[in-house]
Structure 1
Amino acid sequence: MPVSGRAFIIIISAYLVTHFLSLSLAVDMRDAGEWTGLHHAVCQGRAGAVQTLLDAGAAVNIADQHGVTALHIAAAEDNVELFRLLLENKADPKMSVSRARNKLPGIRASNRNLPTVQADSRDSYGRSPLGLAMWEGNSEIVDLLLQKNQQREKVELTCEDTDVCELTACRPDGMSLLHVAAEKGYLKLMKELLSLKVNPNLRNAQGATPLTSAICNNQLACIQNLLDSGAKLSITDKTGASALHVAAKIGNVMAVTLLLNRGKENGRNIDINKCDHLGYTPAYYAINEG
């Protein structure tokens, strides 16, 4: 029975890939969106099929019309296992998505049966797998790419690595580069952004600032750096919670101490009795939940 190239590409399992290859189908056959079997196998997280395709000589750096490779897909999906496998098979982590005037389609846009992974249009042009993984908050993949040679010496993330065209660009949830740096503890990136006059008080869709992102993730060095760079203690999110509310609620004693000390240094004490929209104070959260 004849087998269509479309079937080979979409029906991805190690057994079926082996069977279809035995029928002399080209291992790098493309579909209408210029995706190969390797693109689809990585997108579906099928490690066995990926290994079978690589063993059969699949081109690991082949890209679709937008420059998206299998490594980009693994980075977007936060699939560390497949990301490592592709790197071991000489996938190029520096390949960039094509720059275009029109909005770049989501990684899966050409495949109707799959949900779309859509990057923010202001920031989606020209990103490498490292920039994509960083922007999606996939810190394990970022750490993997920032390892240097055989010594596995970690290299600090910089603005250049992020591949963004605007330093104040935000994801659809309002998270900026500074929020991501604060959340993940990328201190060098944070310092570089702040030195380039990025506002330390940017808010995401929930009204949270990079300071609260750092507090929630116990990134003490980032908290200190943001405070030194003018992060405001009086800003509240959409629930009326200040940075002190957040720190007290999650029991981050070191963050509470840093915030209170910074208030004293500036000659104005923080009001520990200020209520959020639920009517609760930082003191209440510290006593009852922290």
Structure 2
Amino acid sequence: MNGHTEITRLLVDAGADKNVRDWHGKSALLLAAMNGHTEITRLLVDAGANKDKQDRQHRTALMYAASAGHTEIARLLLDAGADKDVCDRCKSALILAAMNGHTEITRMLVDAGANKDLQTNLSQPGTTALMYAASAGHIDIARLLLDAGADKDLRDWLGKSALILAAMNGHTEITRMLVDAGANKDLQTNLSQPGTTALMYAASAGHIDIARLLLDAGADKDLRDWLGKSALILAAMNGHTEITRMLVDAGANKDLQTNLSQPGTTALMYAASAGHIDIARLLLDAGADKDLRDWLGKSALILAAMNGHTEITRMLVDAGANKDLQTNLSQPGTTALMYAASAGHIDIARLLLDAGADKDLRDWLGKSALILAAMNGHTEITRMLVDAGANKDLQDMQAGKTARIYAASAGHTEITRMLVDAGASKDLQDMQAGKTALIYAASAGHTEITRMLVDAGASKDLQDMQAGKTALIYAASAGHTEITRMLVDAGASKDLQDMQAGKTALIYAASAGHTEITRMLVDAGADKDLQVARLLLGAGAGADKDVRDWFGKSALFLAAMNGHTEITCLLVDARADKGDLFGKSALVDALCNGHVKIALLLDAGADKDVRDEMASVL
């Protein structure tokens, strides 16, 4: 192992066993060859050591020398008659020399008659010495093997030939040698990326010189892999302009469509989707079909618009592409304009509108470009569509919402103002819950939008169809103080009851503990003649303090049971009724719920019967 020549000679002369092996199965000859000890190798060979002994990895001394590039040892072993074609689990000495780039050893083995077409059987099964050399770019070894008659068209287990391996790895000179030697240019892989040819690999990877070489040699331009992709499609999708030009000039079919991966996609569609401007222009100039569609119904124009590629969109429009094609599977019914409006691609939307794209087409959910722009907050596109005359009151089929409702709901102030100024209907109710833009704005707490809608004359007392709630009820319930004040000042009815539980804005505010809103509603002044048991304790100018929900509970009762001390105090001072319709008092309920301060507050004004009830509870 350490190369001690004299000691080795002494032991051999003393009759030491030359072929004994260590626990790895390595003999002295194997160890000397793998470590590059030429003199000891010669000494052992001359002493008759077995040259073809294999270790537990099934490798011989010649294999180790060939793999490591120990030229003199390999020559010595070959001259001594070592077996040239014995293989370890998969590789011969020639394969090992070729894959590791040892030209001189490869030459020696070829000259010694080693089998040039042995193929591996485990690691990368089916690979020959020529394939390894072609894959790794070992030019001199590839030439040597070709000159020696190595089979050019053998294929590995994936169906790759030496030519395919050279092309996919960008080895131009080896590709040229193989083409000149007559290698089959149109062999296709059968497992890894099935159906791929050398030209497809070159086109996909952008190996210009190799693609040109293969085209000049007559490689088939329109063969397709298992996904239906041709060399032209692969070049276009990967942005390789020069190869695309070569293939177009060579007459490649520009309108082939894929059949598995993104079925129906053409080279132009891939270029439009990825934003490869020069390739898209090249294909259009060559007459590629502009309106072919993939399996989702997307055309090149739709793909360019949805991905924000303005220049390609312009080229397609100028070339006469259909601006109003609609998708048929993914987001069915969507046009290029809708995609641009939804994503906020301003220049593309302007370009399509200027070209006359239909503004009011709707997708399968009934959404128009205007609705999509408004709901996504794209102010400038909304303005363009309004100026172009888009229908402002279209309702989608998903929820019956208009552009204005979506904008108000999402808090898009400028868009809402724009639609208000443009005359969009103020009081349209959606079909999902019967809510108006004002209700959505008030519910979500969008103060500025609420003010805008109130000033524009939106109906303040419309009740939704879901719960019968008004804008005021929603604002009071959610604790939006400023919006509540605004609606009260604008004359919204303070005593309307919802249809869900018969509750008013006051009841909702009191129940939720919104003190300021409760005070505001009590002080606001409202109709005292509601038909809910006529439980007024006295005349006054405040909101009806004693109106009850469907469960007979008043504002005071709800405030007490929920522990809202300040609101309870406010209602007590306003002399609100302290009981419910079923004989239960707020005082007892407060006590039962542990609200001691409130109980004491109520106790100060409770009548004798209530006191007796409280005593029984205690």
- For the superposition of Structure 1 and Structure 2, which TM-score range results when normalised by the shorter chain? 0.5 to 0.7
Corresponding residue number in structure 2 for 1:142: 171
Find 2:285's aligned residue among 257, 261, 265. Answer: 261
Find 1:57's aligned residue among 47, 52, 73. Answer: 73
Q: How far did 1:225 drift?
A: 2.1
- CA RMSD, aligned part only? 5.1
| Residue 158 to residue 188, structure 1, CA distance change in 2 (3 Å) | farther
1:228 has 2:257 as partner: no
TM-score by length of 2: 0.30
Find 2:223's aligned residue among 191, 202, 213. Answer: 202
In structure 1, distance between residues paired with 2:26 and 2:308: 55
1:127 has 2:152 as partner: yes
Q: How far did 1:115 drift?
A: 3.5
Unaligned runs of 5+ in 2: 1-18, 87-91, 132-149, 155-159, 310-618
Contact 1:182 1:190 in 2 (8 A): no
Q: How far did 1:276 drift?
A: 1.6
Corresponding residue number in structure 2 for 1:18: 35
Contact 1:158 1:192 in 2 (8 A): no
1:189 has 2:213 as partner: yes
Corresponding residue number in structure 1 for 2:197: 176
Select the structure of larger CA radius of gyration.
Answer: 2
Farther off after superposition, 252-261 or 178-187: 178-187
Give the % identical residues.
16
In structure 2, distance between residues paired with 1:7 and 1:138: 40
Q: How far did 1:17 drift?
A: 3.6
TM-score by length of 1: 0.58
Q: How far did 1:224 drift?
A: 1.7
Highest RCO, 1 vs 2 (Cα 8 Å, sep ≥ 6)? 1
Q: How far did 1:258 drift?
A: 1.1
| Residue 106 to residue 253, structure 1, CA distance change in 2 (3 Å) | farther
The letter for the 2-side match of 1:285 is L
Contact 2:25 2:54 in 1 (8 A): no
Q: How far did 1:259 drift?
A: 0.7
Corresponding residue number in structure 2 for 1:282: 300
Corresponding residue number in structure 1 for 2:235: 214
In structure 1, distance between residues paired with 2:195 and 2:126: 14
| Residue 241 to residue 105, structure 1, CA distance change in 2 (3 Å) | farther
Q: How far did 1:3 drift?
A: 1.9
In structure 2, distance between residues paired with 1:207 and 1:97: 41
Q: How far did 1:209 drift?
A: 0.7
Q: How far did 1:253 drift?
A: 2.2
Alignment length (residue pairs) = 235
Q: How far did 1:70 drift?
A: 2.5
Q: How far did 1:19 drift?
A: 10
1:75-86 equivalences in 2 (<5 Å): 82-83=100-101, 86=102
